[in-house]
Structure 1
Amino acid sequence: MPSYYDIDDILMEEEPLSVVFQVGANAVGLLDPSSETNSVDKGAKVDLPFWLAHELYLRQAVSISVPACFSQRTRKEIQADAACVDLSFRCPYFYELGCKIVPLVGDKTIGSFVHYTFTSRYKEILSKSHSTHVSTGPKFLNRFTKEERQLFDAARSSMVAFKKWREGGSRLERASVLGRKRKTTIPLPPSATP
């Protein structure tokens, strides 16, 4: 479920999808730039943002085509060498869009393709985050999707924190509760009062 205030969710929902209208629609001619009238004819191909395409799909007004970032050409490139493919150019929200598009298109292999892509690139992302210098990072960061950049940043900050700890950062500290001295009280025997 998208977060209302998350800018990445908002931007992902703006990714354009190619749809084919299954019904004619009046007073929406601005959706089809090639339309000379104020309506969209049945069978017209139009590019719409994901949020609108999804809503129209739920109303059975459009069918959604597989986005170009999940084409056979992209699949072959990723199978050849996943780490070298510029996914950010194809779709900055590749993984999230892939997960959301699976139930909407006829190609059910997109889910396994997205999984394969992530597992293929995961090791490379972590390796680069732990071994590259800060100044060399931007050279390959441009190929990462938004999700991969977040993973890269999290791995890099984790490694920095680990190095700081290993080099003598704060070790175990004594709890403040242990610093206080307790008063020991010896229980008095019950007094024998007549």
Structure 2
Amino acid sequence: MTDYWNLDAALAEETIVPARYSFGAAGVAQVLEPGSSSNDVQAGDKVDTPLWLAAALTRRGMATISLPEVYQERYRRRLNAGAECFNLKGRCPYFYDVGNKCNDFLQDVSLSAFLSRTYATRYRELVSKGLSTISGEDMLELQSKLSLEELAVFEAGRDAVARAETWARGARPRLAVMTSRKRSARGLLPEQPEPRQRVEGF
């Protein structure tokens, strides 16, 4: 597993996804769903399960992963409307990672297209807002709605702006010093007195 040591990947796999169990499982229902009236999972039951467990069971043919509600059709238009129109952080902090991990099993072409389109649509808005000057209150409100993947993009844009401004402020004096050194090296500074010529016989 290439992302074994990646903390975000581990946290993403804690996301709860629906899984339909092909076999019964004794003594785990109330652990998976604390409000369950029974402590056993029956064959055919659909149970909310951590992604890492649902994925492991699906690989063994013991369960089948389903998409969480946030990926269903009724949410897709709202997601593509813009970053400020839907709170991804509250619904699914690792929206793109979880969607792709689920799709490893589902192989749903429409889901792949939806994830790509959603990211592209929201990415353009995030870059635009990240590179522009917005008030602190507006920035905090926007950040509170972004998935953690989107938040990384947004903060990278803000950081790029800050670095560019710092460079612009500090570049002029350094440029002047460099120019002076170049002129000196080329002999463009005031001429130095020429050495005396040797007189013959002395």
**Maintained 8 Å contact 1:17/1:47:** yes
Question: What's the offset of the Cα at 1:154?
Answer: 1.0
Q: 1:27-42, aligned counterparts within 5 Å?
A: 27-29=27-29, 30-31=31-32, 33=34, 34=36, 36-37=38-39, 39-42=40-43
Question: What's the offset of the Cα at 1:108?
Answer: 3.3
Cα distance, 1:64–1:131 mapped onto 2, change above 3 Å = same
CA RMSD of aligned residues (A): 2.3
Question: What's the offset of the Cα at 1:129?
Answer: 0.9
Q: 1:95-134, aligned counterparts within 5 Å?
A: 95-105=96-106, 107-133=108-134
Q: Name the aligned partner's letter for residue 128 of structure 2.
A: S
Secondary structure of 1:168's counterpart equals helix
Matched, 1:78 2:79: yes
Q: Name the aligned partner's letter for residue 28 of structure 1.
A: V
Per-residue CA deviation, residues 101-160 of structure 1 (Å, 9 max, x unaligned), is 112236431111010000001111011111134623102111111011111111111111
Question: What's the offset of the Cα at 1:91?
Answer: 0.5
Matched, 1:66 2:67: yes
* Partner of residue 10, structure 1: 10
Q: Unaligned 5+ residue runs, structure 2?
A: 179-202
How many residues were matched structurally?
A: 172
Per-residue CA deviation, residues 42-81 of structure 1 (Å, 9 max, x unaligned), is 11111110000000000111111111110111112134x1
Secondary structure of 2:109's counterpart equals coil
Give the structure-1-normalised TM-score.
0.78
Q: Which protein has the larger Cα radius of gyration, Structure 1 or Structure 2?
A: 2
Matches of 2:176 and 2:23, distance apart in 1: 67
Matches of 2:104 and 2:177, distance apart in 1: 51
Aligned partner (choices 163, 166, 179) of residue 164 of structure 1: 166
Q: Name the aligned partner's letter for residue 17 of structure 2.
A: L
* Partner of residue 155, structure 1: 157
Cα distance, 1:95–1:172 mapped onto 2, change above 3 Å = farther
Matches of 2:88 and 2:124, distance apart in 1: 16
Secondary structure of 1:117's counterpart equals helix
Q: Unaligned 5+ residue runs, structure 1?
A: 175-194
**Maintained 8 Å contact 1:2/1:9:** no
Q: Percent of pairs identical after alignment?
A: 33
Matches of 1:172 and 1:45, distance apart in 2: 70
